[in-house]
Structures are given as structure tokens and as C-alpha cells.
Amino acid sequence: MDYTIIQYPALPSAYSPQKPGRRIDMIVMHSTGGVKTGDLWTLSGRDRRHLVSIHYYITKIGEIYQLVQDKDVAWHAGVSFWQGENDVNRFSIGIELENLNNGRDPYPQPQIDAALWLVRNKVQQYKIPRSRLVRHAQVALPPGRKSDPRAFPWDSFIGQVYTDIQPGPPPPPAPPPPANTVLRTALIDAAYRRARHVYHPDWALHQFAFQQRVGPPLIPPFRFKAEGRDWVAEVYGVDAICSPVGAWTDIRRLSQLPDGELKNVLRSQTYQALGATYHSDWAFHQYADGNPIGVPVTETFRLTLGSGETYTAQIFSLETLITPYGQWDVIFPLSNLLDAPELEARDVELRDTLLTRQYQRIGAKYHPEWAMHQAANKLGLGAPLSHQEQIEMGVQDYVAQSYARDVAYSPVGDWGTVKLLNDLS
């Protein structure tokens, strides 16, 4: 039986062109965890909360939809590794099956038959070996992050796909990903998850963020309009970045934008998204415009020391600014107190009060005796963005905490050893 492939084009903003020099040689099978109407909306890039896409989608009654052309890169596998290579999206076709992926929702025979027809055709078209027809659960990093397509009759399906297809030589066993690759992936994935976002290694914005070391993300991406165009912005601990919709390799940093509409709108939207309001006439914000102190993570607040002295402060991602209340033109940064070899009792109280407020902002507690908190101060990692979280790796587990400039982590039990994500090769 032949099938008609129904075209349901994804938005151009939901996939990227295939780079020259690498052919398709892999198929990844998925199940959606949803139903047709919502699945097609999401997988075509129309659900702005989830920028994912797929080449083919197969319904329970056996309809086959094509959303992304084979020649283009769909965003379906996410953080992934197979047979020595990262970023499986670059050289694979993604096929989604309509299924709740709970282990109980069945895959009806018409759906299996349609999947068999499509996969057999693609296997023959691209000469895909048996070892490179895989489930999403097999390639996702860190291992165990994905389970789809759960309860799909995989072994019998594979056997039918390759019936009467000339087998190639047996492939060499797939090497496990390097330990550093798995750890780095787990740390990045956790940092994006804390920001209610998803890391996509094939997104130009995420590649730029990692290469330029702009720190972990703070919030989900958002859209705005400026200069007659639609833009997507992402806010990181070191800087906010943006790109025109559809022109993903044209990436701008807020700190490097010339004065004008784009800078004004992005700055205002960034402050607003972080719960602050930009005031061009405020001394704090003028200072922030002229110095690399990141983005605001609080509004201004007042604090009073035991002596009765009152200050106004605002926490930015890379620095905290302080001024004696009412003396708005007298601004000094918290880093001055951290770097000073000796401090008066008043300054020690001010320093510790501000550090405590940084951690209280995220619902955590500042522990000056903890090696990770000491390292964050010494290395100038900026404001903490998350609680400490255990990263389970099997043989050796880690505890990680995101800061504005980097993610710090320690092996469980070896608390005196503090390392940084950016140092992982």
C-alpha cells in the first residue's frame, strides 16, 4: 500500500537549513505525549512556548504529515549523542508518532503500517544502516532524560523495516560519550530547565551563548518588535542577546548595541521581564549602561544596618550597586567590599547583608563557610540564580549551582573542590 504524504509546513522559524558536507544517515523515532491537533500546532513551530519541530508526523489512523523537508534540520532530538557524535539533529530525520507515551496508550495497526512504509522508504532512500534507526530515548542526553517512543513494538518493527533489504557490514559498537561531554550536557540542560527553557544545541542563539560565555539563562525567551521587525530575545547572566525572527545568525548583544530604537526596546523589555523598570535618569541605571554589570535581577530596595545607617541597593546579575540613602550620585559596587583586604565592622555588615540578600532572592541561604559560596565570591561569578542541585551521573554524582557568569559544581563528598562548567572541554 502506498500512502499520500500530507504537507503541513512548519514555520521557517522552527527549523534551520542543512549545512553542506554531511548527508542524512540516521532516523530517530519519537512519540509526542499528546494528540493530533495540539501535536501539529507545536511541532510546526506555532506554539511559541516550545520551539520544536519534526520532519514527519504519523497519526493513530495512519495519516502521514510532512512538516519539515528532509533537506532541512528539524529540532527534534535536542541534546543528543550517538556513535561518537553530538547534535543528532544535524544528520537525522525525525519521525513523531501520535501517542501519549505513558506506556499504556496503544499504537494502532494502521499507525504502525504507515510508519513501516515511511521508514522503509527512508532507509532505502538514504541507505540507513540498522544501527542508525533509533528511538529518541537511545540518543537523548543525559541518559534517561527521554523515554519515547514508550511501549512501541520496537524489535518486531525493526525486523520488518529491514526485511528484504540488503544488510550492510555489522557496525562497530557505539562508543559511550566522554564523561566530560555527559557532565557538561547535564549541567547545561539543568541550567536551561531552571529558567523554564530548553537547550537546543543546533539553535544559533544557544551556540552563540555558549561560545561567547554569556552565562546561564535567566528566563524563557521572549519576542518584541523594534525597527519594523520581530525579534526573539534571550536573557543570560552576562548579557541579553537577540536575533531577528528568521535571520537566526544575525545575533546582537544588548551591551554592544548602539543607541537607538533596538537598544531602547530590548533594554526596557529585558528589565520588565526581570521584574524591574528602566529609568534613564536613575544613577544606578546610568551606571549600568556604562559598565559591564549585567542585567537587573531585583528592583531597588532599602536596607538599614545595626548602626541605623540606611542604604539603597539594586542587585544586577554581575554586580550589586549601593548608595547611602538620599546620596544618589554616590555609587559603589559590592565587589569593592569583596576585594578589600581589610574592612571596618560597618562594611563587613554591609557586605554580608548584601550577600545574604542575593541568596534570599532565590529562596536560598548564604553560607560563607561553604567552598562553593567562597569560590563564587572570589571568582566574581555574580548573583546566584539557583539552589544547589544534585546532578546524578552514576559513578560520581555532583552538586551544581548556577551563577550569573557560570555554573559551579562539586563532586558529592569532595566539597572543597569547586569547578566551573566553562572549563569543561
Rounded average pLDDT over 359-385 = 95
Q: How confident is the model at residue 175 (pLDDT cuts 50, 70, 90)?
A: low
Active-site annotation holds for 96: yes
Model pLDDT for residues 226-251, shown as the tens digit of each residue? 999 999 999 999 999 999 987 888 99
pTM of structure: 0.70
What are the C-alpha distances in Å from 24 to residues 83, 122, 208? 15, 10, 25
Could you report the per-residue pLDDT of 284-323, keeping only the tens digit for each?
999 999 999 999 999 999 999 988 999 999 999 999 999 9
pLDDT band at 395 (very low <50, low <70, confident <90, very high): confident
Question: What average pLDDT does the structure give for the chain?
Answer: 91
* Percent helix / strand / coil, the chain, rounded to 5: 30, 20, 50
**Of the listed 96, 98, 234, 319, which one is catalytic?**
96
pLDDT digits (tens, 9 = 90+) for 29-74: 999 999 998 999 999 988 866 778 999 999 999 999 999 999 999 9
Strands 92-97 and 56-58: parallel
How far is it, in rounded angstroms, from Cα 398 to Cα 410?
6
- Position 174 pLDDT exceeds 70: no
Q: In which band, very low, low, confident or very high, does the pLDDT at 11 lie, cut at 50, 70 and 90?
A: confident
CATH ID of 5-175, from 2.40.110.10, 3.40.80.10, 3.30.1330.10, 3.40.50.720 = 3.40.80.10
Tell me what pLDDT residue 173 has: 58
Q: How crowded is the C-beta side of 279, counted as CA atoms within 13 Å? A: 9
**Dihedral, 128, 133, 139, 145 alpha carbons, nearest 10:** 160
Statement: residue 264 has pLDDT above 70? yes
Q: What cell numbers appear for 269 in the block? A: 523589555
User: What is the average pLDDT across 355-383?
Assistant: 95
Cis peptide upstream of residue 333 (ω within 30 degrees of 0): no
